[in-house]
Amino acid sequence: MLVFEFKAYGKSAQIVAINDAIRTAKFIRNSCIRRWMDVKGTGKNDLQKYCAVLAANFPFANELNSMARQAAAERAWSSISRFYDNCKKKISGKKGFPQFQKDCRSVEYKSSGWKLADNRKSIIFTDKKGIGRLKLKGTRDLHFYQINQIKRVRLVKRAMGVYVQFCIDVNRSENIEPTGNTVGLDVGLKEYYTDSDGVMIENPKFLLRSEKVLKRLGRRVSRRLKGSKNRDKAKTFLGKRHLRISRQRKDHAVKLARCVVQSNDLIAYEDLRIKNMVKNHCLAKSINDASWYQFRIWVEYFGRVFKRVTVAVNPQYSSQECSSCGEIVKKTLSTRTHVCSCGCVMDRDENAARNILSRGLGTVGHTGTFALDASNAWGDESSTLVGVILHEQVMS
């Protein structure tokens, strides 16, 4: 599934209609959550049927396309099913009980309620909300895909304006020559990552560089009168700055992950629990700014695209264990050089990256389906699912 995003341009009345459609989708989702809370045993099909009841009782809900109402109900069921799964897996802590959505920024259409122009430069929304024709501007070319391949169309509202996303049902796959290289990656805060060859990539620290501007814009928002137009303008400027930082992080992660995957046949990395790591209030901001999770997601994605092996390993003692002799050398976070009694002296992160690579190769050697010389090993099985720890990797 590919997601192409285009900037949408329309008149002020159309923007108001889009906001109304988004509020209606939020109303339907929250109503489905309330229905599930009040009526015991409510399932997915029951929520789909409840959309018709809402459309009959509320005229503004009837104005939204029927499949868009069903998509909103599917969002509600997604949060419910995630809660059920967390309870079955007995995840420690909060299980993610479904909550009512306060701030919704998107509405999703399925196969009806919209029509793409012949030149693929504009889209018309045909429901009763009155959105009408929106001009599209982007770098992607939709002429390569058939209309029936577009499974979902989303209207997303951001600080920069309104965007249209097309979810296209196509499997992306590219064939490139094997390189014969393997690499282990140790992510960090000082350096973005250090690989097993000793190569260090600088941490861009996008949030830290823009923090001065963000504080100034935040003070400007707080000085404006609540409910005034000037406050809304100040909030828009602040949101644009945050959106820019978010896009910088994504662009950096995508380009770096693609380069790593294309240059190596096997990529081993740490199976980190970011949710637990950010509980340290001293490092939480820096960890979130580094966006390790996003980098991992794109490494696994490009691993499937280019048919490379990606494996997440247990990070325990990867920095303490000597990559040369295997002896445990205790060191604090401030100790940046690994010095072992066997004579091994190297950077702490490089030592950890070598241990990660060794564990990744050990995992590959035992599972069989990850064998580098087996042509049938390349595919979706080559990526470790996010959130799955090492001993839960079961490959047929």
pLDDT digits (tens, 9 = 90+) for 4-38: 999 999 999 999 999 999 999 999 999 999 999 99
Is residue 107 predicted with pLDDT exceeding 80? Answer: yes
Residues 232 and 78: their CA atoms lie apart, in Å, by 32
Higher pLDDT, residue 372 or 334: 334
Q: Mean pLDDT over residues 286-291, rounded?
A: 90
Instruction: Output the pLDDT for position 386.
Output: 39
Encode pLDDT of 214-237 as tens digits. Answer: 999 999 999 998 889 999 999 999
Structure tokens at 351: 């030592």
Higher pLDDT, residue 384 or 302: 302
Q: CA torsion sign, 249 to 252 to 254 to 256?
A: negative
pLDDT classification of 384: cutoffs 50, 70, 90: very low
Burial class (CB in 10 A: 0-12, 13-18, 19+), 350: buried
Residue 37 burial (CB count, 10 A):
13
Instruction: Read off the DSSP letter of residue 376.
Output: G
Kindly report the average pLDDT of the chain as a whole number: 86
Q: Mean pLDDT over residues 259-265, rounded?
A: 92
Q: Mean pLDDT over residues 33-57, rounded?
A: 92
Angle, helices 206-223 vs 229-263, to 10°: value is: 170
Q: Lowest-confidence range among 94-108, 200-214, 325-339, 361-375? A: 361-375
Structural Rg of the chain based on CA atoms: 25
* pTM to 2 decimal places: 0.81
Instruction: Output the pLDDT for position 209.
Output: 92
Q: Mean pLDDT over residues 306-318, rounded?
A: 89
Residues 310 and 301: their CA atoms lie apart, in Å, by 9
Is residue 371 predicted with pLDDT exceeding 50? Answer: no
Coil, strand or helix at 186: strand
pLDDT classification of 364: cutoffs 50, 70, 90: low
Residues 24 and 323: their CA atoms lie apart, in Å, by 57
Q: Do 19 and 179 meet the contact criterion of CB atoms below 8 Å apart?
A: no
Angle, helices 66-88 vs 12-38, to 10°: value is: 40
Q: Lowest-confidence range among 115-129, 293-307, 313-327, 373-387? A: 373-387
HSE at residue 206, side-chain half, CA atoms within 13 A, is: 17
Helix (H) or strand (E) holding 391: none
> Best-predicted range by mean pLDDT among 41-50, 87-96, 363-372, 377-386?
41-50
Q: Where are the alpha helices (DSSP H) in the chain?
A: 12-38, 44-57, 59-62, 66-88, 206-223, 229-263, 274-277, 284-290, 292-305, 348-367
What share of the chain in percent tops pLDDT 90? 49
